Amino acid sequence: MEKATFAAGCFWGVEDAFIGIPGVITTRVGYTGGRTESPTYKDVCGHDTGHAEAVEVTYDPERISYGQLLDIFWGCHDPTQLNRQGPDMGDQYRSAIFYHSEEQRRLAEESLERLDRSGRLRRRIVTVIVPAVTFWEAEGYHQKYHQKHGGGCGF
């Protein structure tokens, strides 16, 4: 099993994009990319932690490739919006790929360049590609939120 970590707006909707995909073993939402240890949702919403709302995906690379996960990531949000997705605004909603290996970094950079050159987007991609750091799991009520309460991300 391998891990992939993505931020693309509210983590509830991003998690929805990966749940049920063959080869995805599990998902969990949380906070990463910042400087505060053990942040809470309230901390992250305060814009002082530097963390993004993110989804950690555990997957079987024999059943789904990292490239396929990147395709899902690009398709579940607008990577040209800086620090927002739809009505959600703030640095915690930034678009980011947190790579766990040099291979993931290379694949992420290549996929970003391909999408940017494709002409499918009207603006430049603002997604950052950075090394994965500590992933702080979000509070239990955030996990699989839409499965528990209905709804969806709408993007």
Which residues are catalytic, by number?
10
Residue 119 one-letter amino acid: G
Beta-carbon contacts of residue 79 (< 8 Å; ≥ 6 apart): 8, 95, 112, 115, 121, 125, 126, 127
CA distance 38 to 138: 9
Q: What are phi and psi of 67, to 5 degrees?
A: -60, -40
**Residues 88, 142, 5, 119, CA torsion sign:** negative
CA distances from 37 to 46, 60, 88, 143 (A): 14, 29, 24, 19
Identify which of 13, 48, 24, 55 has the alpha carbon closest to the alpha carbon of residue 154: 13
